Amino acid sequence: MLRVRPNPTGPASPRKRMMSLAVPLVLAGTLAASALTAAATPVTQSAGSSYRTDAQGRTLIKNDGQPYLNAALPVAQRVDDLLSRMTLEEKVGQMTQAERGAVDADPSLVTTWALGALLSGGGSVPTPNTPTAWADMVDRFQSAALATRLQIPLLYGVDSVHGHGNLYGATVFPHNIGLGATRDAGLITRVEQVTAAETRATGPQWAFAPCVCVARDARWGRTYESFSEDPQLAARLGSAAIDGLQGTDVSANDRVLATAKHYAGDGDTEYGTSTTWTYKLDQGVTVTSRQDFARIDLAPYLPAVQRHDVATVMPSYSSVDWTEDGIGNPIKMHANRELITDVLKGDLAFGGFVISDWEGLHQLPGDWANQVRTAVNAGTDMFMEPFTYQDFETTLLDEVHAGRVPMARIDDAVRRILAKKFELGLFEHPYTDRTHLSEVGSAAHRAVARQAVAESQVLLKNAGGVLPLSKHAKVYVAGRNADNMGNQTGGWTLSWQGASGQHRSPGNTILDGIRQTGADVTFSADGSAPVGDADVAVVAVGETPYAEGPGDVGGPQWAYDPEDGGVPREPKSMDLQPVDRDVIDRVCGAVAKCVVLVVSGRPQVIAPAQLAKIDALVASWLPGSQGEGVADVLFGVKPFTGKLAHSWPRSADQEPINVGDRNYDPLYPYGWGLRTGR
């Protein structure tokens, strides 16, 4: 059967989580999907004409006393009843997740193909991108799902990895690298409670978060998604995030299904092993012993599954290559039956369902049928096939009919998926509960984000006690990251890669926060304006946005995200960019006291000669929408309490460097963080 082949100018299996940001991309994706399945036969037909609708024209569930619609029965009994009524075609539909861009123009495709789930990739949003429009969109798709014969509700998933970042106006929290520096599990639970509330209020009931990855090489483009290089800290904080997202009752109108990802070893790959386009680490190979894999890479999944009942787990694009049997025979995680079925579902007794990553099975060896067969038999339950969902369904049906995929494997997958839909309460309340819609981006939610920002700041150097600053000081603010909301929110914000931009999201930039203190502020982004009689300078430098493989140090420079406008992004480096080094030299050489904020998704190497010119150095990470949290610690409203959860290297060639290594000698070690105040 025909398959869409990757663009020869792009990566072999790109993470196209921004398809519907630009109309041409939506159209291209939809046309591609249509061409791909021209000969495919729909798996089911609509029964919607026999169902009543509500005042908004939405399909209502028809309860004729079917046991699976009896909320008083145990979930397992309801699942058994529903599963016994389902055709193979309906079961395969439940195992399939499409992108909203593939069905937005014709929601009846949800009905026709009996889809079990939809998702919004990065930048895949309704027009306008408002809370109400999101809720209306999800409900429109849900109505189509309820027009099927058995009226099985739809799951809708989003990458709420630091707040509901796809939604304009949502509260955007620090990325995990900053949250890891707080060491505050209770705070992280509150952060994820807010994230869950804003996500569920706008329709989606499922977050592809948290990333419980253990980043062992800061050159990785997903380092900022990792709480820590230390597996025990990553496990503790990842578990706290799961609790915040799911709560004790996931059916509540302010909770969502959580996803522990990416199972397993995604942050432990070796540099140069990736075979995806010119990525270096992302989607590469974890070369390890079974003992080290269990100690480092599996560690966060034990509490996530066994004590915190995470609902879903997402396999990694990466591979594992066991040292015990010799190097050179890596196994892709999406094909790894031992780790998915035997370890995760067997040894760890995982009771939720496994969701593939975006087109994850497309990277497996063999032809399309072999890829589908291998991935399903390995133990993945639902497949994220954004624009190839029809081809996936028809191929899986063929594989089952041919006896190459056992019916028991299909039933196991569907049983797991249905159980989560019942636990969410979707059969009783399929449509969006909008009770908390007005609270999206509220002052109360932003206060939680502000607290998270303040606790995430790590004071690396404070010569002469220059910090905290006086609110009566004359402050000269410079640097490209001082007044740039896009840079301080980073990737996974309104699009897959994120983008620079001063007013990209509602909130406060770092400069806004400094001005709110009442200090006498002069601002010059490049430091070219006269410093006058400034008492102190605050220079905010660091990185510009990226996500996944394009963020690998030494990785691709490409303008794939629609927001790039065809212009490649700056090369990713462990070293500060030349423009940042220049502004530090210019400003710190002209003002008596100089504070440098590094706004970045990973540690940035600062040369010794330049570090000597800096009085105070702060790791500000990617703070999100509430830059006033940075000002809170700069001016002593709150103390610096953050501690490094990732080692800060002296030079790029020290990577990978992790606490516990032999000859461990970073510039600032794991756990470093000076305090101010009491």
Active site residues: 357, 548
Pairing verdict, β 383-384 and 96-99: parallel
Residue with tokens 């008596």: 592
Helix (H, G, I), strand (E, B) or coil at 246: helix
Interior angle at CA 24, CA 21 and CA 29, nearest 5: 85
CA dist 180 and 182 (Å) reads: 5
CA dist 214 and 208 (Å) reads: 17
Distances (CA, A) of 494 to 338, 482, 504, 506, 589: 37, 20, 9, 12, 37
- Helices 185-201 and 231-246: crossing angle in degrees, nearest 10, is 40
8 Å CB contact between 493 and 545:
yes
Q: What are phi and psi of 397, to 5 degrees?
A: -60, -45
CA dist 678 and 661 (Å) reads: 33
CA dist 601 and 220 (Å) reads: 10
Structure tokens at 325: 């049997």
Structure tokens at 446: 């932003």
Q: Concatenated DSSP letters for 280-349?
A: SSTT-EEEE-HHHIIIIISTTHHHHHHTT--SEEEE-S-EEEEGGG-SS--EEGGG-HIIIIIIIIIIS-
Of residues 389, 307, 360, 391, the one with CA closest to residue 117: 389
8 Å CB contact between 602 and 223:
yes
The residue ranges of DSSP E strands in 133-280, in sequence order, are 155-158, 206-207, 259-263
CA dist 346 and 508 (Å) reads: 47
Q: What are phi and psi of 597, to 5 degrees?
A: -105, 125
Q: Which residues pair with 321 in a beta bridge?
A: 287
CA dist 227 and 235 (Å) reads: 9
At 337, the amino acid letter reads R
8 Å CB contact between 596 and 443:
no
Residue with tokens 């606490």: 659
Residue with tokens 């253990």: 214
Q: Which residues pair with 605 in a beta bridge?
A: 575
Pairing verdict, β 616-619 and 458-462: antiparallel
The residue ranges of DSSP E strands in 217-303, in sequence order, are 259-263, 285-288
The residue ranges of DSSP E strands in 316-387, in sequence order, are 319-322, 331-332, 353-354, 383-384
8 Å CB contact between 222 and 266:
yes
Residue with tokens 């953050």: 642
CA dist 249 and 109 (Å) reads: 32
Dihedral over alpha carbons 186, 189, 194, 197 (to 10 degrees): -140
Helix (H, G, I), strand (E, B) or coil at 551: helix
Q: How far apart are the first and last CA of the chain?
A: 67
8 Å CB contact between 272 and 214:
no
Segments in 457-596 forming alpha helices (H):
485-489, 510-516, 578-588
